[in-house]
Each structure stands twice: as C-alpha cells, then as structure tokens.
Amino acid sequence: MPKVAYSDEERKRIREALITVGLKLMSKQGIQHTTVEQIYKEVGISRTFFYSFFSTKEDFVVEMLYMQQPRIVEYAKKLMEDDSLSWRDAVKTFLHSCCYGEKSGIAVLTVEEQQLIFRRLSKESYKAFREKQRCLFGKILECFGIKASDEKISLFTNLSLTAMIVRRAIPDTLPLFVPEVADETVEFQINTIVDCLEKLKAQENMTEN
C-alpha cells in the first residue's frame, strides 16, 4: 500500500529536496523549460504530493529564489575572502557567475519568466519579494565593503539585473541584438558595474579618512 502519512521531519526533508532539484534544473535549462513533473519525479514523489507543498509552479519558483539567496551571499563572502583574488577580480567573478547561472548553479529569471511569475503574485507577495530582493542586494554590497543605502541598493540591483537579463535574452527575446558579441557585451557591462562600485567604495574610504 502507498504511504499516505509523513512525519514533519520527512515533509521538511522532501520540501528541501524539491527546492534543491528545482534549483539544479532551473539554473541549467531555465524556469520556462523546467516542468513540475521533472522536479517531483526526480525527488520520487507524486504530482499530488508536490502540490501539497506548493499550490502553483509560480509559488514554487518564488520560494526557490528565496532559498538560494543565502547561498548567493555566502558565495560573495567566499570570493571576497579569497586571498588569491583582488577586490575587483572577486566582484567580477561574482557577477560573471550570476550572468552565467547555468554554469554556476544560480537560477536567474528571464524577462518572460519575470512577467509570468509576477502577473500571478498577489500585492502582498510582490511586496514581500521586493523586500527580500532589496535585502539580498544590500547584503551583497556589504560583502563588497560598500555601505548599503537605499539609493546604492537600487542602483546595484538594476545594473546587475540588466547584465543578467541581457545575457539570457540574446538572441531570443532581443532579436535585434548581435548574438556573436553577446559575451563581449556582458563583459563590458560587468566591467562598468565594477567601475561604478569601485568608485562608490573609494568615495566612502575618502569620507571615512
């Protein structure tokens, strides 16, 4: 007979497994191309049981993005603590890993995925997501040694997401962009972001001294 009752500990373990598998699949093949069926089958549960944890795929994706945030912050800290990397190289490596998430295991939403997800979020859920996003980018700035004011967080968020989205959007979503120089375009964007952050950091150091 199939098992119909699970302990709280078992449910917690299964939920974590779903998130882990979802992150692995979605970082490699994108959110749109990852199905709920792929996720629950790899974990070894039924479709019905999956939906006892998450009411929709969109709810699952949002929860998955929340769960990867501490990993992203820890990754930034690890890079900044690497004595073999200069400050600039550490920041560039971090941004590069985010832009090429399929290689580093970081799930990044495309333009289409953002539209799909956020059309289905309630106002309360959207507000909560934006607050968590602000907190994430603020913590990353702090890892880089930059004081995370609201203005700096907003600028860093937009600059970073622009590079990530452009990289994912060429050529499908942005067909007029030249795909042959997509990587060079992303590299230019990353260098520009690092230049901006380096300037902010220098200004703070001058103020403190």
- List pLDDT tens digits, range 45-58: 999 999 999 988 88
- List pLDDT tens digits, range 135-189: 999 999 999 999 999 999 999 999 999 999 999 899 889 999 999 999 999 999 9
pLDDT confidence of residue 80: 97
Of 145, 127, 129, 134, which is closest to residue 194 (Cα–Cα)?
145
> Model-level pTM?
0.89
Number of helical H runs and strand E runs in the chain: 10, 0
pLDDT, greater one: 14 or 4: 14
**Residues 106-125: what's their mean pLDDT?**
87
Give the HSE-up count for residue 64: Cα atoms under 13 Å, Cβ half-sphere.
28
Instruction: Report the amino acid identity of residue 117.
Output: I
Q: pLDDT category, 3, cuts 50, 70, 90?
A: low
3-state secondary structure of 173: coil
pLDDT, greater one: 3 or 96: 96
- Contact yes or no for 130/160 (Cβ under 8 A): no
Does residue 83 have a pLDDT over 70? yes
Does residue 118 have a pLDDT over 90? no
pLDDT confidence of residue 1: 38
Instruction: Give the span between the Cα atoms of 52 and 6, in whole angstroms.
Output: 12
